Structure formats: structure tokens, C-alpha cells
Amino acid sequence: MATRFLLAFAICRLIVTVGLTLDPTELLRLEVEGVLSVEPADLEVASRDFGGMQNAEPLAVLHPASAQDVARLVKAAYESGQGFTVSARGHGHSIKGQAMTTNGVVVQMSGSKVAPPRVSEKLMYVDVWGGELWIDVLSSTLKYGLAPKSWTDYLYLSVGGTLSNAGISGQAFNHGPQISNIFELDVVTGKGELLTCTEKQNSELYHGVLGGLGQFGIITRARIALENAPHRVRWIRVLYSNFSAFTHDQEYLISLHGQAATQKFDYVEGFVIADEGLINNWRSSFFSPRNPVKISSLNADGGVMYCLEITKNYQESNANNIDQEVGALLKKLNFIPASEFTTDLPYEDFLDRVHKAELKLRAKNLWDVPHPWLNLFVPKSRIADFDKGVFKGILGNKTSGPILIYPMNKNKWDAKTSVVTPDEDVFYLVAFLRSALENEGETQTLNYLTNQNNRILRFCSDAGIKAKQYLPHYTAQQQWMDHFGDKWTIFSKRKLDFDPKHILATGQRIFKPFFNPNAPLL
């Protein structure tokens, strides 16, 4: 009763202050097994995200107890006379308000323990709730000696969230992104329908939702492909001063994806080191501050170094062979002699490596700061131009955070999904994962880093580099049309089919709600 009173009060306040057209009884009549909350703490959490650059004013937050709760809410929005928006939120790791909504309802998918992961050892899959975090998926499957094939670098992300984008890490060259490793989905469409979809059943919805930025439905269950989990990981980093040698070796390593497990690495990434002084940030903990390595001492081309990061998974039973297998692969690479740094650790610890860095940053109050991240897919044919214009040009010698760079094979991505990638067989992820610190000098301020991101995008445009944003953000529909290119026609058709009133994920700023096109999307 108290919750309903607070909800009615909140709606009435919005009607008076911002002209909300919602009939209060439409939400008050909603019967759910979970909790429809207007508690200030819940609204505060739902009003912000990891990016720290956007704010919203949601009307309420639903903590669902089932997929049916999500369906009831969306159906109420769809059938509403005046209408309201619905946005699904996982762990809140979006950068520019993509999971937010103003004057609508946020579905808090993560933290709602709807159902535990269910593993099929025989069929090698796990069924999980859409709000389940990948770290919990890993913990559940490892109990059976199994694990998903493809990951993100950071595991405290929701399954539904990463599948709505793609989900990539150093395994993608071999297994494809996470969206290439999904057998089945349960999805609540923008009409409030709860549908099961696969490659063959409701296939348009299946392909649309994977990488669909939340535009066609809310993922409430995913059936994820599994493999036998390795026991341990040999984790190796080597340095390059020459960009051509660096990319040549990366491209060679991902070309081995069809080889036997003993003849390829299991993970291929890399990062750019442009800062002078110690090569020592949260991604390069192998380098000991007691034995400082300076860029200037390594004859870096243009003052920039490149680090190749590779791993070899293995079982305890074949530990005696790992040195030989790794050595044979390393002999074919052209890194700086004596720059090899190696460690060995349990598989779970490697996958959860970024969380350890998170804890250190939280302890220093450096985690909850603005994150003006920029992620680009750059075609292989132009990556050298990108290096010259951005790494050795625009960036200077202050990066304010990790800059990842690694190639992927396009044939591991399903063209029928909603994701857009460059039209080349190999393309690179370049990820500027920076943190804005207002008291650490001008080059680390939010304004400076945001302007630098815009300079990078303008450089690509002026140079004719047909890069595509990953985790894209645009503010005008024409920009989205340019982003999707030939896929825009099917993307907009899927929107019409599955969310015709444009209720879902308005924080992406792709489509405006039909019932109130002038309302703020955030």
C-alpha cells in the first residue's frame, strides 16, 4: 500500500512539474511478482551509469521476479493510452545513458535473482537470466568443469547487456563475439510478448536482438554455448617499437584460428603505450616499478610502444607440454628481444583480472569518475594510417587510461545480426578506455578527453577511414542511418515489427517514442 501511494505521488508530481501525460492508474494497476519501486535510492541508481556523463529522471524502477513481470510492464506501456518508455538496465556499465529513461520505467535486470544458471553437461550449454552477471555464469559453469567460449575483459556485466552489443575480448578471433555463441533466447518484445527465438524459430527477432542495442526486445534468458574449461593460463606480454611488426604478428596469430589447439594461442589482444616514464598502468602490471622500463630507452617509433598480450590455456594433465607449445609460437614473432614478460595463473583468475584492478581503483576513489570511452572498429587496410594520425599524432604522450588494439576475423561474426562492422575480412578494435580526473591536469579533464575523442572521429572522417563505432552513440537519426548503412532498412523494419511504438531503450537515441516525440530521451 505504501509503495502504491508513493508511486501515485511521484506520478502526480511529474504531471505537475513536467507535463507527463501518463494516467497514474496504468502503473498502479500493474500486478507484478517483484517490486515496482519509487524509492529515492533506486531512482538514483537508475538515473546514472558508469560513463558518469548523463543523468535521467526515471518514474519508477521494476525489480522483476520473473520474465512475466517484464512482459506485464512492457505490455502495459504498449497498451497505454498515453504511453511510457521502458529501459532495461544490467550492471549500469553503459557510457552515455543508453540504459536510462526519463519519465519512464527502468527494469533493473541485474540483482534480481530470478533463477539460477542451469547447466546441461550433455548438450554443453547453460541457461541464464538476462540480468545474470558473467562472473556468476563463470562460477556456475566451472562447478561442472565447463565455461563459455567467448568473453568480455570485464566480467561484472550482464548477459543481456553484452549480447545487446556483441561482447568481445581476446577470444573473439577464434570463437567470435559472445553473440556468435548463443543457441536460444527468451525475449520480451516492445509489444509485451514473451517469445523464445533461435536461428530457426522467430529468427528475425533472434538476429535482431543480438547486437540490437535493446531496440527490439529485452533479453530475459540466454542459452550460452559451453566448452571444457582449462585449468590454467600462461599469460604473456611482449613489446614492439614498430607498429608494422606489431600488427603483422597480431594478424598472423589470428589467422591460426582454424589450427589445432596446440598450434595457436587462445587469446590475442594488445595495447598502446604512449605515456613517457614507467610502462605501468592497470593493464600492464607485469612491469615492476622496481625495474622501470622507459619508452625512450627502447627506441620507440614516434614515442609510442605497443604491447602484444597473448595466452595459452592448458590442463594440469598437459602442463609438461606448455613450454614447448608456447616457445614454438613465440619463435615466429618479431618482438623486441628480452621484452617477454610471463606469468601463470588459474583460468578463473585470468578471466577476472580486471576486477582486481577495479578494487584498487575503488580504494583510491578513482572508479566512480567520468569515463569518456571511445570504441572503434577500424578496417585492417587503414590501421597504419590510424596509428600515424592518432597514436603518433592526436594523442600526444598522455593517454589517461588504457588504449586497447587487437584484430578480429569477420567470418566469426554472423552478418544476420544487428551489429555493424567494417567491410573487410579483418578489422581492429581500438578502445580508448580513459578516465576523466579534473584535478590531475588539463589533459585528463572530461572536456579535454571529449574534445580529443571528437578529433579522432573527425580524423577518421577526413581521412576516409570507414571506422564503425562499437557501443555506438549518436544524437541524430541520420547519424544512425549512416552508422548502419545497408543494414538500416532491416533495422528499421525490425523496429516496426517488434517495437512499433518505440517504447524500448530510448536512451540509445535512435527512435523517438510515437506517443510523445518531443519528450527527453534521457
Q: What are phi and psi of 304, to 5 degrees?
A: -125, 135
Q: Which residue from 105, 102, 95 is spatially nearest to 37, judged by alpha carbons? A: 105
Phi/psi region, residue 481 (left: phi>0; alpha: psi -120 to 50; beta: rest), is alpha
User: What grid cell was written down for 7?
Assistant: 508511486
Q: Residues of 265-296 as b/e, b for ≥16 C-beta within 10 angstroms?
A: bbbbbbbbbbbeebbbbbbbebbeeeeebebe
How many residues does the structure list for the chain? Answer: 522
Task: Please identify which of the residues 93, 175, 473, 502 carries the catalytic annotation.
Answer: 93
* Strand ranges, E, within 317-434: 341-346, 374-379, 403-409, 426-432
From CA 335, how far away is CA 245, in angstroms rounded?
A: 8
Is 93 an annotated catalytic residue?
Answer: yes
Beta bridge partners of 232: 314, 346
Q: What number of CA atoms fall less than 13 Å from residue 350's CA on the CB side?
A: 26
Which one from 69, 269, 301, 352 is the annotated catalytic residue?
269
Backbone angles phi, psi at 233, to 5 degrees: -135, 130
Amino acid identity for residue 223 in this structure: R
Active site residue 269: yes
> DSSP E strands: which ranges in 362-481?
374-379, 403-409, 426-432, 468-470
Cell numbers describing residue 285: 602490471
153 catalytic residue (yes or no):
yes
Helix/strand/coil for 2: helix
From the candidates 23, 26, 57, 153, which is the catalytic residue? 153
The residues with which 226 forms a beta bridge, in sequence order, are 148
Active site residue ranges? 93, 153, 269
